[in-house]
Structure formats: structure tokens, C-alpha cells
């Protein structure tokens, strides 16, 4: 979804630290929700678990009430790519579940998503999730040395297209975004090569990097609830997302407990946290 003006918001160190507070609460909420996800549970039950964690920390959801969205997470199953509304759907063994959530601390936002496969995974679904997750990290790593935002999408596209085996599709209609005093802000962060370099990367920029990959066609449709995005061919999808700050020293993954250190090490990137 895209509800943004054109001006990029550059954050101060103090503002990024508030976003880090929100990011750590969000990481805990996603940890707890993912750990609870199991066959026999409803997506509404998972929403309640997520909400209980952010409420415990005194934070508020940036999803609930957003343009009328009724829940604190998006819970999208199998062919549902993103924006699925939690409800009475019962999870089954082998389901591919995308959990996307966010929270706010003192007016500053965090946004992150993970894919979890319920029970025993189809190897093709496991591959889909693993490639999507690593594509996200490839994009995040690219940001560390990027001159322009478009280089993130180039890195994601190169990683995905370079994988052996059955090709995966990269969604083009739904992309990453800036984040800060609002959940969705400029600039758009594409997950593919577009021929456009995008805005220049500058300290104070915070981006939600979120590749969405599918096992089939990238064509999508919106269900009658006006939210849930599905693949038109019924193919399964994966989504992974982190909120990442550009600091004077590099990048800092605000929604990862370790700031991204473990997953970025293979790319030769060390997170650059703000200490004061």
C-alpha cells in the first residue's frame, strides 16, 4: 500500500534511538508470536499474542486503525502475500504464514515482517522463505555502501535471479518504504531493477526493506475485504522485512536484536549503532 507524500524525512540521532526502542519491542513481539504459531491456532489468536507483548511494554500498534485496518498484525497465509486480516482461519500443517507488525514509541515507528512455516515444510516453501530472507539481507547490506536507494533493489534482484533451481518471482506492485514519524513515508524502496537510481542515500534516512517473493506469477489481486493481496495463480508467497537506519557511520537494523550483526557479517558489513 502507498499513502505517502514526496518529501523524505531525515531523523536526528535522538529520533532514531526512539525508533530503536520501538524496534526492540517489535522484535520481541514477533519472536513471541512466531514461537506460538502452530497448527490448530487461529490467526486471530496470534494477533492477540502480538498485541499483548506490545501493550506490556506500553507501546501502541501502528497497524490497528491504519486506514481502518482492524488488527495489530497482518497475517497472510499461503497465496495471501501481504495485508491479510487476522480472524477465524485455523492454521494447518505446511501453511506458509507471513506475520507483519509494527509499533510506536513516542510517535516514532518500527515495522518488520517474518515468514514462518507451520509444522513440516514443503522443501519448495522452505526454499522460498530462505531465499526471500537472504534477499532482504542482501538489500540491507547493499544499503551500507549505496549512493542511491535504487541500489537496494538491484542487490535484491541480483541475489534472487542468481539462485539455482526454479526461478522465483519478485513482486513489483508492493515495495518497501521510508518510515519514521509515520509508518509509510517516502521513498519507495523497490525490490527489483527498475533503471531508476532513486534518491541519494543520506544519514538520517530510515527505510523498511521488505522483499516479497512468489513461487509463480507476480500477478496479484485484492480480495473483497479491500486489504488482502493474493497471487492470482494461487502460488505461495514469502515476505521478510526490517527497518534500517542510515547513520553517520553506516547502517543499523533497528528491528533486529543485534542490529543486524550476525546476518550482515557475511557481507563484510558491521552495524553502526548510535550510542548517545
pLDDT-based confidence at residue 276 (cuts at 50, 70, 90): confident
pLDDT-based confidence at residue 6 (cuts at 50, 70, 90): confident
Report whether 210 belongs to an annotated binding site.
Answer: yes
Q: How far from each other are the two terminal CA atoms of the chain, in whole angstroms?
A: 34
Average pLDDT, the chain: 96
Query: CB within 8 A of 65, min separation 6: which ones?
Result: none
- Strand 237-239 and strand 212-214: the pairing is antiparallel
User: Which range among 4-8, 59-63, 94-98, 128-132 shows the weakest confidence by mean pLDDT?
Assistant: 4-8
Report whether 184 belongs to an annotated binding site.
Answer: yes
Q: Which domains does the chain have, with CATH numbers?
A: 13-267 (3.90.230.10)
pLDDT, average across residues 46-58: 98
Q: pTM for the full model?
A: 0.96
Task: Say if residue 187 is preceded by a cis peptide, omega within 30 of 0.
Answer: yes
Neighbours of 195 (CB within 10 A): 6
pLDDT-based confidence at residue 5 (cuts at 50, 70, 90): very low
Q: Residue 82 — left, alpha, or beta (φ > 0 → left; ψ -120 to 50 → alpha)?
A: beta
pLDDT, average across residues 253-259: 98
At residue 4, does pLDDT exceed 60? no
At residue 31, does pLDDT exceed 60? yes
Report whether 83 belongs to an annotated binding site.
Answer: yes
pLDDT, average across residues 22-41: 98
Distance CA 3, CA 201 (A): 21
Report whether 109 belongs to an annotated binding site.
Answer: no
Distance CA 203, CA 5 (A): 20
At residue 248, does pLDDT exceed 60? yes
Percentage of the chain exceeding pLDDT 70: 98
Which tens digit of pLDDT belongs to each residue from 146-163?
999 999 999 999 999 999
Distance CA 122, CA 18 (A): 39
Neighbours of 179 (CB within 10 A): 29
Question: Buried b vs exposed e over 1-20: b needs ≥16 C-beta within 10 Å?
Answer: eeebeeebbebeeebbbbbb
Which tens digit of pLDDT belongs to each residue from 75-122?
999 999 999 999 999 999 999 999 999 999 999 999 999 999 999 999
Distance CA 40, CA 111 (A): 27
Q: Note whether 150 and 190 are within 8 A (CB).
A: yes
At residue 1, does pLDDT exceed 80? no
pLDDT, average across residues 47-68: 98
pLDDT at 95 (0 to 100): 98
Amino acid at each position: 500500500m502507498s499513502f505517502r507524500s514526496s518529501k523524505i524525512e531525515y531523523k536526528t540521532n535522538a529520533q532514531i534511538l526512539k525508533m530503536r526502542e520501538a524496534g526492540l519491542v517489535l522484535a520481541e513481539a514477533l519472536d513471541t508470536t512466531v514461537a506460538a504459531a502452530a497448527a490448530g491456532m487461529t490467526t486471530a489468536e496470534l494477533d492477540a499474542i502480538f498485541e499483548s507483548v506490545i501493550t506490556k511494554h506500553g507501546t501502541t500498534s501502528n497497524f490497528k486503525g491504519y486506514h481502518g485496518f482492524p488488527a495489530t498484525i497482518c497475517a497472510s497465509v499461503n497465496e495471501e502475500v501481504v495485508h491479510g486480516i487476522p480472524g477465524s482461519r485455523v492454521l494447518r500443517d505446511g501453511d506458509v504464514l507471513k506475520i507483519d507488525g509494527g509499533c510506536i514509541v513516542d510517535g516514532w515507528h518500527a515495522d518488520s515482517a517474518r515468514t514462518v512455516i507451520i509444522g513440516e515444510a514443503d522443501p519448495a516453501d522452505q526454499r522460498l522463505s530462505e531465499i526471500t530472507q537472504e534477499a532482504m539481507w542482501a538489500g540491507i547490506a547493499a544499503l551500507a555502501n549505496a549512493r542511491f536507494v535504487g541500489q537496494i533493489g538491484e542487490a535484491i534482484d541480483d541475489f534472487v535471479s542468481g539462485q539455482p533451481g526454479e526461478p522465483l518471482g519478485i513482486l513489483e506492485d508492493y515495495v518497501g518504504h521510508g518510515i519514521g514519524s509515520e509508518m509509510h513515508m517516502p521513498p519507495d524502496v523497490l525490490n527489483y531493477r527498475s533503471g531508476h537510481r532513486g534518491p541519494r542515500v543520506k544519514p538520517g534516512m530510515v527505510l523498511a526493506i521488505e522483499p516479497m517473493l512468489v513461487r509463480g506469477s507476480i500477478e496479484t489481486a485484492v480480495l473483497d475485504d479491500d486489504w488482502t493481496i493474493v497471487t492470482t495463480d494461487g502460488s505461495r508467497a514469502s515476505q521478510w522485512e526490517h527497518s534500517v537506519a542510515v547513520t553517520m557511520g553506516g547502517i543499523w537494523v533497528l528491528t533486529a536484536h543485534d542490529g543486524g550483526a550476525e546476518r550482515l557479517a557475511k557481507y563484510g558489513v558491521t552495524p553502526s549503532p548510535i550510542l548517545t
